[in-house]
Amino acid sequence: MQGLMQDIPLTLDRIIDHAARWHGGREIVSRDGQGQISRTTYAEVHARAKQVSNALKAEGIAPGDRVGTLGWNGYRHFEAWYGTIGIGAVLHTLNPRLFPEQIAYIANHAEDRILLADPACRPLVEQLLPQCATIEKVIYLDEDFDAWIAPHAAECAWGGFDERTAAGLCYTSGTTGNPKGVLYGHRSNYLHCLMTLQSDALALSARDTVLLVVPMYHANAWGVIYSAPMVGAKLVMPGQRMDGASIHELIETEGVTYSAAVPTVWQMLLTHLKETDGKLSTLQRVTIGGSAVPESLIRTFHDDYGVDVVQGWGMTETSPLATISQPDARIAELGFDEQVPYKLKQGRLLGGLDLKLCDDAGATLPHDGKTFGRLMIKGPTIAAAYFKGEGGQVLDDEGFFDTGDVSTIDPDGYMQITDRAKDVIKSGGEWISSIDVENVAVGHPAAELCAVIGVSHPKWDERPILLVQLKPGATCTKDDVLRFLEGKIARWWMPDDVLFVDEIPLGATGKIDKKLIRQRMTDYKLPFGDPVR
């Protein structure tokens, strides 16, 4: 039909082309494993990414081939990212925090041909290579990388392929069975970028300086790898150093206005600030995801540092951001204390997506803020299947994907996750949200981390117990914690026991590893007594 708009494929090379042409002088700052700071620009990265493309083509990499990366956030990794996808190859980000046997399985399953690795990962790579038959060459992201691309021209034809061509491959954490691959398309990632740039989402702009704490190996770095260059934001990459002091130094020296990370990173930062009487002079807002955000974290950022916390939710299969707790018109008019209950929810849906709640039989449940159900999601940025068909059919008859989360949705559209389906505690036929109990318990002044799991009970099927990792030097008793919880959670949700542990294990993406906790607690027996109802 005549008179329609220009039909230009939504391929991701257009994002870095745009950044180089219209924001070419904007800085990209990164820190390496030795603490060395490097400075470059979008224009320089664009030219070197073209050299990467030519170097890959010289190695025989063709459209559809998988190129693996194993490393932290830095400018060379950024160049490798765009240099790979620009020629239609698939960038496969490997998580160096996984167990070596998991990484080997993933690399073999993906059939990676080239591996671009951080020099800090050299011992890991040497351990992996004998197990990875498809990897033909390893290039380390240091001077070796520079030498590898140096002979090649800074001009290379990008794009020219269908926008539904695969661009990225990221594997789930594999908490049940082997990890499964999620294959992102150029079109889906481009749309995700536009969706996250809405003012009711990440709201990034050319005026922002973005600290990219979210690892590049974790689900498109929550999309910031695309949204920051799209708007020309200054980009700061912290490398491997994620401790509170290192993060604070970058925020202050580079004038960071926005960042995103999992709660544990921000807890380390706030602990450092308290110990050093530190300040946050430029930081305005942070997006927190990966696991539910404790109220204490939201209030400390707001009350002590004037920083707004916006909670987001997503998963590898959702590109990843899908909901965010930005206020609607009614909530925005409330005072901060009245907004906090909504900030504790995972938020409202991004435009272009759809959610529903279902029971175990697939029947749709109401959005009344009270009814728990399995969270289902649908849209152009949601996985339709896993790579190579692993896991079989993953969509229901209406095309919705089962997230594995148990949630509520209130009449205002705010979604709140109450548990993973595999973690929910069913006591006396009713559900207890381990996440809600954890988020209240971690507000105790002595608590560093808290985890709740269900254990078998002869009468109530399951009862919750609370594990507490104390802050260094802090002391606390079981009665202290239970008194702190009184009045903050339902009485029958009160843990039947409180255990103090040296460490609460975290998984490869910074989430509490409840699978490992349950393994460690195999021989645990509940103290005698019935819960108060």
Catalytic residue among 172, 209, 300, 418: 172
Tokens 């009270």: give the residue. 370
Q: At what angle do helices 13-22 and 186-196 cross, to 10 degrees?
A: 50
What distance in Å separates the CA atoms of residue 45 and residue 83, rounded to the nearest whole number? 10
Distances (CA, A) of 51 to 62, 356, 362: 15, 46, 51
What distance in Å separates the CA atoms of residue 265 and residue 272, rounded to the nearest whole number? 11
Catalytic residue among 163, 317, 448, 462: 317
Tokens 């950022």: give the residue. 301
Cβ-contact 210, 233 below 8 angstroms: yes
Alpha-carbon radius of gyration of the chain: 23
Q: Quick one: which of 390, 402, 383 has its CA closest to 192? A: 383
Q: Quick one: which of 233, 169, 161, 158 has its CA closest to 197? A: 233
What distance in Å separates the CA atoms of residue 295 and residue 347, rounded to the nearest whole number? 15
Per-residue exposure over 329-338, b if at least 16 CB sit within 10 Å of its own CB, e if not: eebeeeeeee
What distance in Å separates the CA atoms of residue 84 and residue 213, rounded to the nearest whole number? 22
Catalytic residue among 44, 431, 488, 511: 431
Q: What is the dihedral of CA 361, 367, 373, 376, to 10 degrees?
A: 80
What distance in Å separates the CA atoms of residue 433 and residue 437, rounded to the nearest whole number? 7
Which pair of tokens denotes residue 326? 């930005």
What distance in Å separates the CA atoms of residue 415 and residue 421, rounded to the nearest whole number? 15
Q: What is the dihedral of CA 453, 459, 460, 461, to 10 degrees?
A: 60
Is 431 noted as a catalytic residue in this protein? yes
Distances (CA, A) of 439 to 116, 138, 434: 38, 43, 9
Q: Please tell me whether residue 499 adopts helix, strand or coil conformation.
A: strand
The DSSP result for 280-301, as a single string, is -SS--EEEE-SSPPPHHHHHHH
Burial of 427 (0-12, 13-18, 19+ CB in 10 A): buried
Which pair of tokens denotes residue 159? 């794009």
Is 317 noted as a catalytic residue in this protein? yes
Catalytic residue among 137, 388, 422, 426: 426
| DSSP-derived secondary structure letter, 395 | B
Active site residues: 172, 317, 426, 431
